[in-house]
Amino acid sequence: MIIVGDIGNTETKICIINDRLKKIKKFSLNSKKIDIKKLNYYFKNYDFNKTKKILFCSVVPSTFKSLKKFFLSKTKVKCHELKELNLNSLIKIDVNFKQVGSDRLANAISVSNEKKNFIILDFGTATTFDVMIGKNYKGGIISPGIRLSLNTLSDKATLIPKINLKKMTKIVGQDTISAVRSGFFWGYAGLIDNIINLIKKETGKSFKVILTGGFSKLFKNQIKTKVKQDTDITINGLIKSSNLIK
C-alpha cells in the first residue's frame, strides 16, 4: 500500500493506493487544523503494516508536520515531502526550485512527457498556470483565487452578500448578485483565455491544457481554448513520484 496526499492552503486530500496503483480510498480534511479524530476514523480499518511508502506535497509546513507526527505514531515507514526527493529523472526544473510549490511540481510531474507540452490550470486558493515544455518545467503564473476573491469582495463591500459562483449566459447583470456572478464568471473566462494565448505567443509552442481544482468543471466548457479536466492530476503526480522512494 502507498499513502499519498496533497496539503493545500484550504484542503488536505489523502489517498490510499494499492499495489496495483489503484486508488482504493480518498478523503479530505481541513488544512487549517488537522482533525486527528477524523484521521483515525478514516484509517480505522487500515492495516499500517502493509504500508510501503508515504508521500505528500505540501504548501503548509505546520500541517505536514502534524501529519508526519500522526503517521510516525502508526508506522515506521518514513513520511516524505515531494521536494525532499531527487526529482531530476522525472522533471527538469528551469526556475528557482525553492520558490515553486510542491503541489505545482506534482502536477507537472504527472504530465511530464518528452514529446508533449502542457499548461496546467489549477483553481485553488490561488489560480495558477504552470507551463511544461517536454519534461522541462518553465515556470508559471499566479493569479487571485476565485473563492478567495469572492469572499474578500463580500467581506470588504457591505452591500455585497456571500455569493456562490454559477454559470452565466448573460453578460449584463440585473441585480447585485447576478452582476457579481457575471463579473467573476466572464472575467475569469477572459483571464484564462488571455493568459493561455500569451503563453503560446511568448513560447511559440502549442499546448494541451489541463484544468484541475474546485472550479475546473464550471469553466471546462466556457472558455475558447480546448481543455481537459483532471481532478486527480496532483495525486497522480505523487503516485508517479513515489517510485523514487527506495
Give the catalytic positions in this structure.
103
Q: What is the dihedral of CA 215, 218, 222, 225, to 10 degrees?
A: 40
| Inter-CA distances, 246 with 82, 107, 187, Å | 14, 22, 46
Copy the grid coordinates of residue 153. Answer: 469582495
Burial 38-66 (b: 16+ CB within 10 A, else e): ebeebbeeeeeeebebbbbbbbbeebbeb
- The amino acid occupying position 243 is N
Copy the grid coordinates of residue 82. Answer: 515531494
In contact, 222 and 33? CB cutoff 8 Å: no
Handedness of CA 34, 36, 42, 47 (dihedral sign): positive
Contacts of 212 (CB under 8 A, 6+ apart): 107, 120, 121, 122, 123, 229, 230, 231, 233, 234
| Antiparallel, parallel or unpaired: β 117-123 and 208-213 | parallel
